[in-house]
Amino acid sequence: SLGLLGEDGQCFELIKPVSHWDVENLMDALNMFLDECQCPLSSLTQISIALGPGSYTSLRLSLTTLKTIGQVLNIPLVGYSTLEAIVYPFRHQSSVIYAITPGKRLDVNAALFTTKIGTMTRQSNAIVWSFETCRKTLALCEEPLLVVGQCPLALKVDLEKLPLCHV
């Protein structure tokens, strides 16, 4: 996904399904996105990038591309956790949140967070869990848990059956 936050607080976002995203065409997608937002590349004041977890190749190519743009424009490049970005929209509610992204074949990348009005606190480092370990661990939860992110369908179906788990 690509996002743009203006000085006036106006936010633009372009999200494409993973199957349609081609990191080799990142510059074309970025230029089209900036044109749609009527924002020239030269007007950027900072670049932010998700540092993972995620696809190694996509992360490296994106980082290289955006780092080059930052160096050419002499603007800072700021990295953030993909899992933190997933939880960020939920920071205004009081919850225990488990952020998930797909990992290798039958694994997920995940981290546990708590949120209270306007803040979020990471409760665990990013971990790689098999679907089975994830199912068993979340089944032990004693309080409501919100699961957010890109939860693989096979795991999502199982997690939706857990009484305190909201996917």
**Does residue 36 register a pLDDT over 90?**
no
Q: How far is residue 167's CA from residue 151's CA, in Å, rounded to a whole number?
A: 8
Q: How high is the pLDDT of residue 14?
A: 66
Q: How far is residue 14's CA from residue 35's CA, in Å, rounded to a whole number?
A: 12
DSSP string across 50-95: E--SS-HHHHHHHHHHHHHHHHHHT--EEEE-HHHHHHGGGTTS-E
Q: pLDDT over 70 for what percent of the chain?
A: 87
- Burial profile 117-145: b = 16 or more Cβ within 10 angstroms, e = fewer: eeebeeeeebbebebeebbeebeeeeeeb
**Does residue 15 register a pLDDT over 70?**
no
Judged on CB neighbours under 10 Å (0-12, 13-18, 19+), 89 is exposed
Residue 87, number of CB atoms within 10 A of its CB: 24
Calculate mean pLDDT across residues 97-111: 90
Q: How high is the pLDDT of residue 74?
A: 94
- Say if CB 77 and CB 47 are below 8 A apart: yes
Q: According to the per-residue pLDDT averaged within each range, which of 36-40, 43-47, 71-75 is highest?
A: 71-75
Report pLDDT digits (tens) over 79-89.
Answer: 888 899 889 88
Maximum CA pair distance of the chain?
A: 52
Q: How high is the pLDDT of residue 147?
A: 92
Query: Which helix (H) or strand (E) segment is 109 a member of?
Result: strand 107-116
